[in-house]
Structure 1
């Protein structure tokens, strides 16, 4: 089927989507703004005290007249003091809402006299209200006298306050009418914009419908072509999977293929099934492959984190556990993540490595550490003792008159003496102690966590055991053997060479003092 060219380029289509999104956002903001303005004006117009300033000023004017009459009646003895207190409280209740309000903001020109009069009335009502108390006849009488003196002069100015309030309120209403006109004009334009935006959206929907019909027709043709390709591809995959199984089954490695969780097993070759004694491929899991379940968990975590693991050495399961190298890959299989695991046996290599390690670190004649291995392990023991501030003592041992044994009885007898001494040291000393043959008839032992007193006892026991060790020459005559030993304890921060040097000096002292004895390094 020939490829159908794209009707709309990618960039214009993207710009159209951006434009439509911007149009929808603008329409949404317009509707939200219009609703907010309408709700704001509705709340303001619904206020119960809206534009009640003129009525309040009129009530104050009338209440001043009533208070003047009540004050005069009190002074004439015709009114009780508590009645005047009531009139004062009524006046205060009328003036209190006007405090802080700007009644005259909309006057065409300022009227200071009206503002002064209103402030004077509010101040008098506040003062009288604070002083008027129930049952306080003398105090209330003083208020009445002040009212009779002050109120007549405020009656006419209060009329001017009402006139100024009326003019200011009329101007304020005119300004609000203008604002409402502007609001409704804006709402009209907003509705017109919404109408135009809605029309554009409808046109776009019609265009999308036509495009969808055309795309549906093209998609139907593509589906037919795709079904044909899927059938062909399925056949190819089946053949490829069969070939892959044959290759993996013939692989010299142990191979398994599972899903990423390990719950579904796709393939296990015969070699691995026989090694793990599996009756079915579904019995395979990493915990069955590894001899240790914790190591299997660590391998899975490493594979999930890095998507590949190469040459992971570990103990693998089987009829008998064996050393193996395991590798893994996280890949895609049958449309999902899968794990490909393969391994091979390295037991022979491990045995050879162990044999080489023994040959490299062991003295072949005595079975003890050779010089290199002794120096390395003794250094590690000294570092541990330094870290934890532990006692540590070094013994230098030398066979007395060993050259005469070789000269008089032959090197074979000398080798037998060295081997016997190696066996005795292994038997008499602890596993934590480091023992080695430094060369010829010279041996060394580093005693862990051993102070001077204990080290001297160990050295004397070794010397006595060597002296009592039964040895016979080739002709059956007994061979006497003695040992000279030099001791030195570890000093803080002292290297191994320093301890060896001081122990060697102590050994020299034991030799020059007659042999077959133990000598201690004094410094």
Structure 2
């Protein structure tokens, strides 16, 4: 025989299990006998207690009391007629007899039993009650007739006493027969109770015998189990040593790993394991006792995203986030798992430092979106951001104006003063234009000596003043040239306001370029607006 886990049971265990099965059935039988005995004992006690109730003999007592009171009434009636007793005594005795006959208030149950078992006796008592009521009424209402009432009582008393004596005998016989029946029923119940108690005694003896037998078998089995337990403890100790050695090796490997690793309890935040790399990353001198996973990430949004993914999917892979000390956060590629440790949920997090990769990525992004000479947005980046900004203005029904700025005679500057002077002129113009714009405005170099600025929430009138500031600021610039005296430069500016809902960045740039072409054709160093936009002030 084997255990539920598949391991063989010690010798004798199967036999003990079979004995126990038989013991359970025997115990069930004993319990059933106990219940049966309890029910029989309860019923017997109930019958015995019913015999002790005062109403059991109340019929006999009632009829006997009526007979006694009627005899006293007859005796007082004789004394009253012989003038040996006062009227009040007879009146009082009649009232006592009348109250004795009334069973409705004192013991209604006895009256019901009497009417059911002895109807003739009940009729005799009722007839007596009518006579007594008539006597009491006449005695109280007509004092002059009291002697006649006494004579009437004596006239009927003998007959009534005879009938009541017969009623006493009938009630006595009825009570005796009823008591015999109750005694016979109690005898039968006690015999049944004795049989059940005998069975209970026999079952208890069998149960004690079985329990003693099982105790000896259990003692023998306990010796076998103790020996098996010692062997199991030796195997557990050996396995524990192997696990501890494996954990120590794993801890050494993780401490030597270049990745950051931490294992924390979900509920309490207790740190099961944290390697030295993570401790250094957090800027701590000693490993913390408690640490919650969201505290590692600097961005609250990234923390919520990480925890929601763990709660939903139980794992996260390759999530990029800032972790580490607050004064020196580093970018890491994080992975996490929701696992079970010692029966409780825990978070396992490991990550790799990607700060260098992030810096290179930022530099490449800057190179892809910025002009290398002036640091402004290049044409592609200007068009992307300009499109988004124009869409924003269109959704919120706000004006938007584009400025096209071109350096006058730039080719002549390169030819006469050299390309270095041309580059200096471009950088100086870019600085002057940026100084005249707001933070919300965007500025880009579209190519050569041509710049573009997008002014959101600006109408043609407000953009006109900005364009004039740009033109005047550039006209005051002096570019140092090695070949000649300081160089003066001017710019021409064309502007166009968004006038149609379908006008995009390309359309606005084309309109502003047309205005720029007219400014150059009409003398340069001026600001002109597109003819289709708001009229020039």
TM-score, normalised via structure 1 length = 0.64
Q: Distance in 2 between matches of 1:339 and 1:286?
A: 9
Structure 1 position 188, deviation (Å): 0.9
In the alignment, does 2:223 pair up with 1:217? yes
| Corresponding position of 2:113 | 103
SS of aligned partner of 1:397: strand
| Corresponding position of 2:31 | 25
| Corresponding position of 2:329 | 321
SS of aligned partner of 1:218: helix
| Corresponding position of 1:202 | 208
Q: Distance in 1 between matches of 2:256 and 2:328?
A: 24
| Corresponding position of 1:79 | 87
| Corresponding position of 1:176 | 182
| Corresponding position of 1:476 | 489
Structure 1 position 246, deviation (Å): 2.4
In the alignment, does 2:259 pair up with 1:253? yes
> Contact 2:270–2:290 (CA<8 Å) still a contact in 1?
no
Q: Distance in 1 between matches of 2:429 and 2:132?
A: 128
Structure 1 position 86, deviation (Å): 5.2
Provide structure 2 residue ranges, at least 5 long, that are not aligned to the other structure: 1-6, 370-375, 412-422, 476-486, 512-528
SS of aligned partner of 1:43: helix
SS of aligned partner of 1:103: helix
SS of aligned partner of 1:393: coil
- Listed one character per residue, the Cα deviations across residues 18-48 of structure 1 (whole Å, up to 9, x for unaligned) are 4245234314423432442343234323334
> Contact 2:124–2:164 (CA<8 Å) still a contact in 1?
yes
Relative to structure 1, is the Cα distance of residues 223 and 14 closer, same or farther in structure 2, using a 3 angstrom cutoff? closer
Structure 1 position 184, deviation (Å): 0.4
In the alignment, does 2:198 pair up with 1:192? yes
In the alignment, does 2:117 pair up with 1:113? no
Structure 1 position 174, deviation (Å): 2.1
Structure 1 position 205, deviation (Å): 0.8
Q: Distance in 2 between matches of 1:346 and 1:143?
A: 131
Structure 1 position 199, deviation (Å): 1.8
Q: Distance in 2 between matches of 1:140 and 1:253?
A: 127
Relative to structure 1, is the Cα distance of residues 146 and 48 closer, same or farther in structure 2, using a 3 angstrom cutoff? same
> Contact 2:261–2:350 (CA<8 Å) still a contact in 1?
yes
Match of 2:275 among 249, 253, 269: 269
Structure 1 position 176, deviation (Å): 0.8
Structure 1 position 87, deviation (Å): 2.2
| Corresponding position of 1:331 | 340
| Corresponding position of 1:461 | 462
Match of 1:370 among 370, 376, 385: 385
Q: Distance in 2 between matches of 1:139 and 1:517?
A: 139
- Listed one character per residue, the Cα deviations across residues 116-174 of structure 1 (whole Å, up to 9, x for unaligned) are 33455678889999x99xxx954999999999579757544434433332232222212
Q: Distance in 2 between matches of 1:10 and 1:296?
A: 62
Q: Distance in 2 between matches of 1:369 and 1:17?
A: 88
Larger Rg: 2
| Corresponding position of 2:419 | none
Match of 2:100 among 91, 104, 128: 91
Q: Distance in 1 between matches of 2:37 and 2:443?
A: 94
Q: Distance in 2 between matches of 1:297 and 1:117?
A: 102
SS of aligned partner of 2:328: coil
Structure 1 position 423, deviation (Å): 7.9
> Contact 2:23–2:207 (CA<8 Å) still a contact in 1?
no
Match of 2:64 among 48, 58, 69: 58
In the alignment, does 2:380 pair up with 1:395? no
Provide structure 1 residue ranges, at least 5 long, that are not aligned to the other structure: 383-391, 430-434, 448-454, 488-496, 519-523
Relative to structure 1, is the Cα distance of residues 279 and 338 closer, same or farther in structure 2, using a 3 angstrom cutoff? same
SS of aligned partner of 2:57: coil
Q: Distance in 2 between matches of 1:393 and 1:330?
A: 53
Q: Distance in 2 between matches of 1:219 and 1:465?
A: 96
> Contact 2:497–2:533 (CA<8 Å) still a contact in 1?
no
Q: Distance in 2 between matches of 1:115 and 1:262?
A: 87
Corresponding pairs, count:
463
Relative to structure 1, is the Cα distance of residues 499 and 405 closer, same or farther in structure 2, using a 3 angstrom cutoff? closer
1:93-172 alignment, distance < 5 Å = 96-101=105-110, 102-104=112-114, 107=117, 111-119=118-126, 138=141, 152=157, 154-172=160-178
Structure 1 position 185, deviation (Å): 1.4
SS of aligned partner of 2:231: helix
Structure 1 position 442, deviation (Å): 9.9
Q: Distance in 2 between matches of 1:40 and 1:300?
A: 74
Q: Distance in 2 between matches of 1:141 and 1:244?
A: 127
Q: Distance in 2 between matches of 1:398 and 1:477?
A: 19
> Contact 1:64–1:155 (CA<8 Å) still a contact in 2?
yes
Structure 1 position 59, deviation (Å): 0.6
Q: Distance in 2 between matches of 1:321 and 1:128?
A: 119
Structure 1 position 198, deviation (Å): 0.6
Moved more, 475-484 or 369-378: 369-378
Structure 1 position 92, deviation (Å): 5.7
